[in-house]
Amino acid sequence: MKIKMISLTKIRRTLPIKVVQYFFLISFGFVYLYPIVFMLGYSFMDEAALRNQMVFYIPVRLDFSNYRSAIFVMDYWQSLFTSFYVSLLPTIASAIIACATAYGLARFTFPGRRLVLALIIATFIIPPVVTMLPQFILFQELGLIGTPFAFILPASLGQGIRSSILILVFYQVLSSIPPSLDEAARIDGAGAIKLFILIAVPLAASGFVIAFLFSFIWYWNETTMTTLYMGTALTTLPMQLARFGQVFNRIHGQVGDDARTVDQAIYMAGTMLNILPLLIFYFFTQKQFVQSVERSGITGE
């Protein structure tokens, strides 16, 4: 009886806290899930459902023609391959170079080390639009415009999209590695390169997960620099989505019975097709990503 009274007392004490916690969780979850639910529901609606003011979010019947039209207008499979091609290579280069740069800053002491860290932070503070035009002129002189090397080359030199953040993430992770591991490896005759490959890289796995996921999403969603540097040579899914209405009206806007104008449902279908690869990618990596974020904050001995 006493045990039951203690349990009831504990429940009464923790119940208000649990209610507040779940309230905020549901509220924040609704804020993030609402756009996806809205897009998914409206992407399957036909024209009659769109005009019906009694229909909200849930379509009366599933209309897959919106997705067929979006796939055709966006040249989806070719654009999907280009998006992976343009995003994946710079992402790999950014992660490797960021890890190597952070390793040098975290494990070695040399004159000007703090200045280098300050300059890395400064590159994050400077808006990309400020350096976009000088970079375009430089890439044009080097013949990189219209090729993926306009992204790969800066990423390979530690100047990719938000590479400073990746360097700081790796710096935090590598700073948490106990120096005793390096000392033991040096006693066994390991040099700096072997220390980096055999000790730093495996222990920085959490940083690689964060860097890869963040960098891939940044390159995937980038449209301004992609349009400026790639032009019409390469077309990614976000670029296709940005001019979706113009291309759709050019294809389907003939006068006659086949005339059709782009509507909200087709826009939503195109948007869902654009973010679908990212959602699938995150679905399979969310566990590793959450664990990596937690581990990246640990401190060394």
- Residues 133-144 have pLDDT tens digits of 888 888 888 888
Q: Is the pLDDT of residue 301 over 70?
A: no
Q: Is the pLDDT of residue 256 over 50?
A: no
More reliable by pLDDT, 54 or 97: 97
Percent of the chain residues past pLDDT 70, beyond the cut: 85
More reliable by pLDDT, 54 or 43: 43
**pLDDT category of residue 300 using cuts at 50, 70 and 90:** very low
pLDDT at 7: 62
Which H, E and C letters describe the chain, residue by residue? CHHHHHHHHHHHHHHHHHHHHHHHHHHHHHHHHHHHHHHHHHHCCCHHHHHCCCCCCCCCCCCCHHHHHHHHHCCHHHHHHHHHHHHHHHHHHHHHHHHHHHHHHHHCCCCCHHHHHHHHHHHHHCCHHHHHHHHHHHHHHHCCCCCCHHHHHHHHCCCCCCHHHHHHHHHHHHHCCCHHHHHHHHHCCCCHHHHHHHHHHHHCHHHHHHHHHHHHHHHHHCCHHHHHHHCCCCCCHHHHHHCHHHHHHHHHCCCCCCCCCCCHHHHHHHHHHHHHHHHHHHHHHHHHHHHHHHHCCCCCC
Ranges 71-85, 195-209, 261-275, most confident: 71-85
**pLDDT category of residue 286 using cuts at 50, 70 and 90:** confident
pLDDT digits (tens, 9 = 90+) for 143-179: 888 888 888 888 888 888 888 888 888 888 888 878 7
Percent of the chain residues past pLDDT 90, beyond the cut: 2
Q: Is the pLDDT of residue 3 over 60?
A: no
**pLDDT category of residue 198 using cuts at 50, 70 and 90:** confident
